[in-house]
Each structure stands twice: as C-alpha cells, then as structure tokens.
Chains A and B, each alone.
Chain A
Amino acid sequence: MTSPSTSPASDGAAPLVVQDWERLAFRVHRRAYRDEALFAAERARIWERTWLYLGHETELPKPNDFKVRALGGRPLIFTRDSTGELHAFLNSCPHRGTVLCRETQGSSRHFNCFYHAWAFHNTGEVAAIPDPSAYADEEYKASMRLREVAKLEVFEGFVFVSFTDDVPPLVDHLGPAADYMRMISEQHVAGMEVLPGTQLYGVRGNWKLAVENAMDGYHFSPTHNTFVGYLRESGFAVDDDDQYAYNLGNGHSLLILTGHGGRISMLWEPRFGEAERERTAEHRREMELRLGSERAHLVADESHILFVFPNLLLFDLEGLSIRQLEPVAPGHTDVRAWQLAPRGEDPAVRDLRMRTMVSFVGPGGLATPDDIEAYEAVQRGIEATAGDGRAELDYSDMSRGMAADVSGERGRSTDEGAMRGFWRHWVTAVGEGGPVDLGTPPPPHPEPTPLPSKRPHGLDEILAGLETGIVSGSEEVAAR
C-alpha cells in the first residue's frame, strides 16, 4: 500500500510523489507547484546542478554581439567576444555587484559599469579601473575579471551552461535527446538560425505545469478545440491515434507526433499552397542525397515535441519553435520563445513559416493562450486543497496509461507516461541530499517486460543502451 496516510498530517510530511503499482496510480503532491521551500530546493538542486539551456549560437551571429537573459534567477550576459568565442558572464560587476549591462541586446567590445566606471573587455579581462594605483598590484586588478558560469558547451548550435563544474559532459546529459536535436540541424543543408524577435512573456503558473502541458497529448483535443476546428476546416488532418511518448532518461522526454501532419519544406499540406509543394519535393530530394533515405525520413516526416530537462522545450512541428522556461517564483514563470528557421530561406516560405507557427504557438496564437489559461487555472485551483486535513485530496493525478509503465510498452501520447518520467526524475533530483521529505520508498518496480521489438524509426537503437539504466537506476526509486 502506498497511499498517503489519511490522518491529518502537515504538508511537509506527505510524500511528494505517490506511485502505487498495484492500483496503477500515480499522484503528485500539489505543494510541488506552490511551496516556497521546494522552489528554493529546485533552484539549489536542479538549476544550480544541471546543464541549463542558455540560447542558440545564431542569436549572436557576429563577434561582440550580446544578449542579456536570466537563468535560475541569475542575470547573465550571453556574448560572442571579439575573437568569436562564446561566453556567459554573470551580469554583475565584480566590484560591488551592480548590473553591468543594462541593455537587453546589442554589440559591444566592452562592458562598462556606470557606477564607478570599471570597464571590461568582452573576453572578461579588466580593461580599466579608474585610479588603479589605489589597489595593491596588477595581479589584484586582474583578479577582478568578469565572473563566468562554470561551464559552457554547445551542441548543434544549442548553448548550455552550468553553474557548477560537477556535471557530466553535455552530450552525456542529453543522452538520446541529443539525436533529436541533431535532426533539427539536419533539416536544411544551410543549417538553422534563430530569427530576430523573441516572444517574452510571463505566466502565473509553476514552471512544471508548462512541462506537463507540453508532454500531455491528452489535453490537445479539449483544450485546443477551436484550434483543431480551424485545422480541420483548412483541410489539415489531426489525429491522436498511434502517437507515442518516450522517456529519454535524465528527465528528458519526447512526443512523436505522426497524426499532426504538415512540416514546412519537408511534409507538404494543402494549406501550404501549390508553390510550396514543388519546393518541398525538391528539398526532399536534396535531403535524401545528403542524409540517405532512412535518415531523411526520420528527420522530415515526424513532428516532435522534445523536453530537455529542466528548461528547454523544442517544438519541431510545422515549423520550429524553441521555448525556454525560467522559474521566477512557485506560481510565476517567465517564458522566452524563438523561431528557428533555415538560413537563407526563400522569403515566401519564411512568411508561410511565421504565419503557421505564430498561429499556434505563442501567447498571441490560436492555441497557446488556452494552454496558459490551463496553467493559470491549475495554479489558482490547487489552492482549494492546500492544507486540507484530508491530506489525500491535495494531490494531482497522473495515472493515465500507467499499465504501459508496468508492461514496458511505449505509452500513447494521450497518456501521462512522459509526465510520470519527468516527475520521477524531478523527485529524485530535488530530494537529493536535502531536507525535502520524500516519504518511504515505493515497492520495487515490477520486472519490466521487454520493449516491443519494433519501435518507429530507430528509437530501438537509440534507446538500446538506455533501457537498463532506466530500469535499474535511481529513476524508478521515486518517492513514495
């Protein structure tokens, strides 16, 4: 029996995640979305310990370009220095801590602090300190260089940083997610670039609600009723059948969508128009030559929603949208979203891409506002059970399709298996070495049956080395 006690208990004592293999029940305590102490624990044990998505290298096309942004609450300067190298500096003067760069983006060889006029090269070295003779020596002055993140690595143009040295190499962290990122850069021979214009918006909801929503095919039809209606009217097939969700390890997850056709320049749909039909055929021929037909099929024919733990969502749908989550408070998340498009794309295709993607994703689209409505309605609604003496009420249910977890079958995209994978990883990460009470461990996971021998498009191979790790590793030792 793994249900929480029904006797009154303080929130802190109730297990965060309950998984009951007998009843096939999986529930998450709602304080995970609202508790300040847990939020602080997430900052300390996830955001300070894990690779985080910072930005895309094409956002800084030229030396001296910079953008400012925040990760885990830390203000950063993302810049390409005068020699072309990428950096992520803490946006804080080493002298007294003033925000150094108060522009949001631009191009500069130097960052100058207005407060006492200290100046730094964009390589990090001190350029000038007024009246330097007042300091001990040159060495002291040199020690005042800009503070940088502990690690910065780039994978296929995606730039990740870590605030600690104690992380595995980025590709190890990405695991099987890496190949889905590589597929994006393989879509076009000229490579992909982030377009100017960032969708910057906040939502009144916990960041994990945004993760759940992206991995939740179950909500699509009811929540996006009006958008689905529009798609159907425009001759666009929408189908939830035969689509699956995958846990990729390390908290990453993937939906493979085949019932949501239409991928600009790769998979033609009538609503894209006749001119695009011929361009698509031509591009597919080029892809076959460049990648081979099997890989070209893999890259071109399926839509993906990829979550890279903890803060990156890649929507590889009709077009490509990058979404970065920045938790600000338990009930408040900042979102940044960019369009990723082929370099040198035909203006007519670019126009089609913008209209198609913006119509769906983004806070002014025909679909995302309803997702935001959902996060915000959950965040408000879960107050109803906060601190209720009947402790079992203060849980959200994610049991849908849990039988597949036991049998080892892949879960449908309309089930909640990708969410369960996320929460198992989350509870392990947040509970590690800290005061978060995870309760007693769950009973052992039943022996998994072998995975179906044939998964679509090479996932078997990709996941081959992973299965053992998932089954025997700490992932399944989710909190009772």
Chain B
Amino acid sequence: MTALHPDGTDTSLAGSTRTVTRAEVEDFLFAEAELLDRQRYDEWLTLFVEGGRFEIPTTDAGDTPASQGGYFVCDDWDLLRARVKRLRSRKAHAENPASLTHRMIANVRLLERDGDELAVTANFIVHRARDGHTNAFHGRYVHRLQVTEDGLRFRLRRAVLSLERLEAGARLSFIL
C-alpha cells in the first residue's frame, strides 16, 4: 500500500500535544465545508491522516458499536481514496452532473483530548440540490482529529444523521 497521496505529498505528519482552540477547529471545519461544496476532493483528502476513516451510521443505529451495526458509509483508507477517485470520474453517474451542496456548520465544541488526539463535535445542515429537488441532511459530526504542528487532520470523520430515514432521491452519493 502506498503512503502517498495522489499528488505525491507525504502527509504522515507527527502528532503534537499543543493547545487547540475552538476557533481553530471551527476554521478547519469551515474550510473543509468549502472544499466539499466546491468539489475539490483531492484537497479534501489531504485533510485526513494516512489511514483515516469516514463513517455514516444508519439512521436507526443509535449507540451500536462501530463495525457491529449498519452503516451508509464505512470507509477505511482504501475505500475513502476509492470514493474520491470515483467522485472525480465522469463515470460516477450518481454525481454526474454533481449535486449542488451547501453546508452550514454550527455548535462546534471540543470534547476529550488524549495526547495528540482531539475529539470534536459540531452540528451540520447540508442542503443538496439535484434533479429538481432539494433535500436537507442534518445531523452532527463526531470527529477524532489528530493535532499536528501544521494543523488538524481527520483520523475518524463521522457524520451522524438526525433523520428518520433517507428521503426519496436523498442517496449519499456526495460527501456528507
């Protein structure tokens, strides 16, 4: 397995125990939202550590432990890179043409800190428009971030929907 990103840069940055403020986390999440809304997926992938994961549990999963229950998205590093590669392809039919997305992030809070790892949570609303319909996806992020001298990186990026189900047409072909 390669340790390199598609553009050849090595992002296996060392962890740091430096102090992180909520403002820094907010800036990180807001910048990420812009990358996603602009479909700049290669740059988005560099926000992850090598081996990072991306998860969206099913709407009824509750507190089911990770990997023991249902998921909409359960990407390890290989799958995450495959997802990004797919989204850049014209053959990702569900996203060609791409959905219009518009993200709002609020209620950002820092949770536990353990060495170089910081748990954070935030509320999100992602509006997604396609095929003449707009769907709102709301929920909260529960991320585990690696703190580095150079900024923050996702170890686990987890989006937990506050929906009863995915409405018609509301498939998760984009990044939530």
Which A residues are closer than 8 A to B by beta carbons?
Answer: 104-105, 195-204, 223, 225-227, 229-230, 233-234, 332, 334, 338-339, 347, 350-351, 354-355, 358-359, 362-366, 368-370, 372-374, 376, 380
**Bound form: Cα–Cα A461–B15 in Å:** 63
Closest 7 CB pairs of A and B: A197-B70, A364-B72, A202-B168, A197-B69, A369-B94, A364-B172, A200-B165
By CB atoms of chain B within 10 A, which of A225, A332, A364 has the most?
A: A364
Judge whether B75 and A380 touch: CB under 8 Å. Answer: no
**Bound form: Cα–Cα A368–B93 in Å:** 11
**Bound form: Cα–Cα A200–B167 in Å:** 9
CB distance from B101 to the nearest CB of A (A): 15
Judge whether B58 and A223 touch: CB under 8 Å. Answer: no
Size bracket, chain B contacts: 35 or more
The contact sample of 14 A-B pairs, CB cut-off 8 A, is A196-B61, A197-B57, A200-B166, A201-B166, A201-B167, A201-B168, A229-B85, A355-B67, A355-B76, A362-B72, A364-B71, A368-B171, A369-B173, A374-B93
**Which residue of the partner chain A has the closest CB to B63?**
A196
**Bound form: Cα–Cα A230–B133 in Å:** 30
Judge whether A351 and B57 touch: CB under 8 Å. Answer: no
Known pairs A201-B170, A369-B173, A374-B93 / 10 extra A-B pairs, C-beta < 8 Å: A195-B68, A199-B70, A200-B59, A201-B171, A202-B170, A227-B86, A334-B165, A359-B79, A363-B166, A365-B73
Judge whether A350 and B67 touch: CB under 8 Å. Answer: yes
On whether A372 and B71 interact (CB within 8 A), knowing A200-B164, A226-B92, the answer reads: no
**Bound form: Cα–Cα A213–B69 in Å:** 26
By CB atoms of chain B within 10 A, which of A226, A332, A350 has the most?
A: A226
Note all chain A residues with C-beta closer than 8 A to B58.
197-200
**Which residue of the partner chain B has the closest CB to A194?**
B70
Judge whether B86 and A366 touch: CB under 8 Å. Answer: yes
Judge whether B169 and A203 touch: CB under 8 Å. Answer: yes
Q: What 1/0 flags go to B68-103 for Cβ under 8 Å of A? A: 111111111011001101100101111100000000
**Bound form: Cα–Cα A423–B91 in Å:** 30
**Bound form: Cα–Cα A351–B60 in Å:** 19
Q: What 1/0 flags go to B135-176 for Cβ under 8 Å of A? A: 000000000000000000000000000001111111111000
Judge whether B89 and A225 touch: CB under 8 Å. Answer: yes
Judge whether B78 and A234 touch: CB under 8 Å. Answer: yes
On whether A197 and B64 interact (CB within 8 A), knowing A358-B72, A373-B173, the answer reads: yes
Judge whether A202 and B94 touch: CB under 8 Å. Answer: no
B114 at the interface (CB under 8 A from A): no
Among B56, B72, B164, B171, point to the contact of A372 (Cβ < 8 A).
B171
Judge whether B74 and A355 touch: CB under 8 Å. Answer: yes
On whether A364 and B60 interact (CB within 8 A), knowing A195-B70, A226-B89, A230-B82, the answer reads: no
Judge whether A359 and B60 touch: CB under 8 Å. Answer: no
Note all chain B residues with C-beta closer than 8 A to A368.
171
Judge whether A370 and B93 touch: CB under 8 Å. Answer: yes
CB distance from A354 to the nearest CB of B (A): 5
Judge whether A370 and B92 touch: CB under 8 Å. Answer: yes
**Which residue of the partner chain B has the closest CB to A203?**
B168
Judge whether A195 and B74 touch: CB under 8 Å. Answer: no
Note all chain A residues with C-beta closer than 8 A to B82.
230, 233-234, 359, 366
B131 at the interface (CB under 8 A from A): yes
By CB atoms of chain A within 10 A, which of B68, B83, B85, B93 has the most?
A: B93
Judge whether A197 and B172 touch: CB under 8 Å. Answer: no
**Which residue of the partner chain A has the closest CB to B173?**
A369
Q: What 1/0 flags go to B92-136 for Cβ under 8 Å of A? A: 111100000000000000000000000000000000000101000
On whether A202 and B167 interact (CB within 8 A), knowing A196-B64, A226-B91, the answer reads: yes
